[in-house]
Structure 1
């Protein structure tokens, strides 16, 4: 695809219709990238007309394969995996069922694996290094009660990206062929998924906005993640980011009892 006679860079955001993924998709579109979104629901609201969309349910293997095949038909320069399934609400392990667990694995982990498997060769074939951004969570560092499936699947996802990042470093000569970055919010983020779990009239004034990820997304678009390969970054509500090793993210775990959900 060309714009004003010049090649236009392409990006893919899995889980980009709402939440942090949408914040990344909008920022990449602002930076001039041709952005495709894979998600169950179509992007809506301001800026949605700039995003291409393929309906994709990450629990449907055939649909995921078809969407990713279409997404990699042209060169890719940036990919973000932001799809997430929290679950119906926080619940003790004894109150969770296998269906919920399998959905968390399908969305939080297996969908990431499929996306990496399909996009890694395309990102590595670009003339300049491609960048893969994985949206992580504080639960990777702060496993707590009521979040066993979410914590396990997100920790596994983080380990998967760490392992692939080390493989990219080992294979590179002077620079990484593909740069992998993980980023997580410093606090709770106001998203439709979170709002479905909160009571009517809940006060979201202390919550972050998805747009807080825009500065980092723009940096990755401009530099392809130069200097950030393998990093785990915490993004605060002002859009400032810092390495998680310098300041561990605040735990959002708390005590719960049987039947508690949020």
Structure 2
């Protein structure tokens, strides 16, 4: 699915913090990715949205007047085609936010090698595939930025049954730091590590808020604001960061 290309516009007559920016967001059909799309549109960015959920993606794209492409981020061919189209539609790419990912729980002795591979393929390799596809455009612009969605489990795995998920998110944090060193000074690369956020992905995993200093789940909009900071020029001296937006779960 590809929606008709349009330009995202701010709801305010005042130029936003992302005015003139051309940004791709993955995982935009729901949850944190959807919240990021709405916030970025309000701040004046031109957007292209990616997700495998065609129906949810269409709804978000209509809300924020963005182009959208239904893709599987583990498919290099699908991602490369969507990124090329995004760059042509927006006149380039100078921002990327990787929100696409899956939650997974299972003790190491019960998780098959195929399940392990699937979690890492989506969360870690999928993130890498999207970044790699966007690099030719990101590297053309000074001040380009990438924000990757990690997790508090990647910073501090402290509950049983998350070995595959924690490994995938810890890999995102390390990949972020490696790319920050490799792509500097032209492209900044940072990550956000949310705690448990009140989205559909949290269903069945809402039993541990007592370990959070703030004693509640986060809101998608709260994580989106952290992503906005790391994407905007307000964080122009920040790269390689692993920003914990986790209600005090890790105190990282």
TM range (shorter): 0.7 to 0.9
Shift of 1:31: 0.8
Given the superposition, is the C-alpha separation of residues 227 and 47 from structure 1 closer, same or farther in structure 2, using an over 3 Å criterion?
farther
Report the CA distance shift for 1:101/1:190 in structure 2 as closer, same or farther (over 3 A): same
Give 2:124's aligned residue: 109
- From 83, 102, 118, give the equivalent of 1:85: 102
Is contact 1:138-1:250 (8 Å) kept? no
TM-score w.r.t. the length of structure 2 is: 0.78
Alignment pair present for 1:135 and 2:149 = yes
User: Matched residue of 1:156: which SS?
Assistant: helix
- Given the alignment of the two structures, is residue 223 of structure 1 paired with residue 238 of structure 2, yes or no? no
What's 2:199 paired with? Answer: 191
Deviations 1:195-222 (A, max 9, x none): 2x369xxxxx921111002333333444
Counterparts of 2:63 and 2:171, CA distance in 1: 32
For structure 2, which runs of at least 5 residues remain unmatched after alignment?
A: 1-5, 10-18, 207-214
Q: How many residues align?
A: 225
Q: Is contact 2:73–2:127 with CA below 8 Å preserved after alignment?
A: no
CA contact (8 A) 1:31 1:218 kept: no
| Aligned Cα root-mean-square deviation (Å) | 2.9
SS in 1 for 2:198: coil
| 1:127-183: CA deviation from partner (whole Å, max 9, x where unpaired) | x310101111111122242111111111112111111111234xxxxxx20011111
Match of 2:212 in 1: none
Distance change in 2, residues 1:250/1:218 (3 Å): closer
Larger helix fraction of residues: 2
The runs of 5 or more residues in structure 1 that have no matched partner are 170-175, 200-204, 238-246, 252-262
The structure with higher relative contact order (CA 8 Å, sep 6+) is 1
Moved over 6 A (4+): none
